[in-house]
Homo-oligomer: A and B are copies of this chain.
């Protein structure tokens, strides 16, 4: 490609709404253009990256035996009503009516449609296993779309769906996809981790996320440096504490803690470690009748160690706490007779259901709120001051240094961006839609399913979060918009430069290198700044003075300075660097 035939459009300033670096750099590099909230055009420079991502994904999906289809963006509501998701999903499922008043959705994923295809196409176990995938436009009507392609409303996803005859075969299909994902992420040239994940609303009981490591990532990834254990913090188990509970050694004592409404403030006042305090969180669960009216509300008190954070996914899995909410101020006043900041399990106005983190269950002589403004109680002990806890569970996020569940040492935590997800779904969708095949015993049997996503348009953003500096983007070779940029200086004035640049361009094209020749006639400073912003990994500068000595300058985007290279050697050197 010659730059004069392309659309290069860089900006000095990022737009005001670009909060994260990938959004800023993709906009400044002219890769995306905002059309509305969470809705972007992919400009030529950005589309090249997306197409390379798509090509790698498609190649590896095909290699893994998956078969490409395309399901409609606009989908009639019927299948979505069969699984109940038409009503159950929140407003992020975009629903509308056509000119005849029929209900439609814009696909956020395609479990329903692909299951409908399977129940028509796969009649016999002899046709299984099968894996169907698409690379297609999706839409989620996010309440607050932001971060550019990281959390847009319209995006491109690769979604694959496997259909198997039994659980063993389904798990083999899952493993095949997991292996393909590793090849895909290896080829992207990004640092990533496959981590155990909660399977969330989509259902199923085995699920892993592929996380691109980046300090700015939304997700916390827990891993063991000594083993291959890795999990999303939502999922990572905090092991039960090893030893038994120490005996009580302090007397119960009410202490004035005026204005100290946080565990930290109380610990500071008493000169004790934060880990001696207890955090009291008040939750509620509502029982609803068929008309959607609340017929009964249960208030819960959750006890965590003062230095720990609640893990919502784990709490949701406690018996009775599915779909919990935080209690209202009125509910708290009603049960505790006190405002938040001084709450605790003693001296309640009305009974609540107590649930205690495993760590709290083995603590002695702890400190909690007194259910009286500006007062706490210290020296609290189970079995003496309140009954032994009936409900003990893992309720908290792990912290760095916690023991790894596999016993291989302490855990570490880093941040990541979820780019891929593999799920074993079981028969959730095939049962809801009565999708069956004839098994070898002649009986109609529900498909065992898996689903497997990759955020195609999110990936470039994640790659940038991981690979950038103050000058701009640094693309891995495999997904760079161009692999090599040739920057001739004064091409219009020097025949020597012009000829060398055109010849090098032709030689690299002939090798199949994705090279761009910057023939725009920009001044060197502006030209270099453009390509550093855009992030093309390999740059060759051709100047008149150097060429008179037979030299050009090579610089990798990560190099601090350029290296003189004989013009005669530059193709060979690039071949080596590009692995050709």
CA distance A154 to B106 in the complex (A): 12
Q: Which residue from chain B places its CB closest to the CB of A121 in the assembled complex? A: B9
Do A154 and B41 contact each other (CB < 8 Å), given the known contacts A33-B120, A98-B141? no
Contact (Cβ within 8 A) A72 B7 = no
CA distance A130 to B36 in the complex (A): 24
Q: Which residue from chain B places its CB closest to the CB of A97 in the assembled complex? A: B96
A-B pairs with beta carbons under 8 Å apart, 8 shown:
A7-B132, A35-B71, A35-B116, A36-B75, A41-B70, A47-B69, A74-B154, A94-B99
Cβ of A43 under 8 Å from chain B: yes
Q: What does the 1/0 interface line of A84-106 toward B look like (CB < 8 Å)?
A: 00000001101011110010101
Do A72 and B154 contact each other (CB < 8 Å), given the known contacts A44-B67, A67-B6, A99-B141? yes
Give the chain B neighbours of A5 by CB distance below 8 A.
65, 67
Q: Which residues of A contact B (CB under 8 A)?
A: 5-7, 9, 33, 35-37, 39-44, 47, 50, 65, 67-76, 78-79, 91-92, 94, 96-99, 102, 104, 106, 113, 116-117, 120-121, 130, 132, 137, 139, 141, 143, 153-154
Give the chain B neighbours of A65 by CB distance below 8 A.
5
CA distance A369 to B489 in the complex (A): 83
Give the chain B neighbours of A143 by CB distance below 8 A.
99
Give the chain B neighbours of A94 by CB distance below 8 A.
74, 96, 98-99
Contact (Cβ within 8 A) A69 B41 = yes
Contact (Cβ within 8 A) B96 A68 = no
CA distance A47 to B91 in the complex (A): 32
Do A153 and B74 contact each other (CB < 8 Å), given the known contacts A41-B113, A113-B35? yes
Contact (Cβ within 8 A) A35 B98 = no
Contact (Cβ within 8 A) B120 A76 = no
Do A42 and B70 contact each other (CB < 8 Å), given the known contacts A117-B33, A120-B33? yes
A5 CB, nearest partner CB in chain B, Å: 6
CA distance A350 to B41 in the complex (A): 58
Contact (Cβ within 8 A) B69 A39 = no
CA distance A113 to B35 in the complex (A): 8
Give the chain B neighbours of A104 by CB distance below 8 A.
36
CA distance A400 to B123 in the complex (A): 53
Find A96's partner among B76, B96, B120 (CB 8 Å cutoff): B96
